[in-house]
Amino acid sequence: MKNSEIIKTLFLPVDIKTAWAYLTEPDKLAKWFHAPKTALKAGEDYTLFGTDSGNKMCWGTVSVMNPHSELAYSFSITPAPDLETQVHWALDQLDGGTRITMTHTGVGAAGMGLLSGLDKGWDAHFASLRGAV
What architecture does CATH give domain 5-132? 2-Layer Sandwich (3.30)
72 Cβ contact partners less than 8 Å away, ≥ 6 residues apart: 62, 63, 64, 65, 86, 87, 88, 89
Report domain extents, the chain. Answer: 5-132
Cα–Cα dist 4/60, whole Å: 20
Give Dmax over CA atoms of the chain in angstroms. 42
pTM equals: 0.93
Q: pLDDT 10s per residue in the chain (133 long)?
A: 556 899 999 999 999 999 999 999 999 999 999 999 999 999 999 999 998 888 999 999 999 999 999 999 999 998 888 999 999 999 999 999 999 999 999 987 768 888 898 999 999 999 999 999 9
The pLDDT, as a whole number, for residue 24 is: 96
Identify whether the C-beta of residue 71 lies closer than 8 Å to the C-beta of residue 23: yes
The pLDDT, as a whole number, for residue 2 is: 57
Supply the DSSP symbol for 68.
T
Interval 58-90: pLDDT, tens = 999 999 999 999 999 999 998 888 999 999 999
Single-letter amino acid, residue 87: V
Nearest one of 90, 102, 96, 34 to 65, comparing CA atoms: 90
Cα–Cα dist 54/6, whole Å: 27
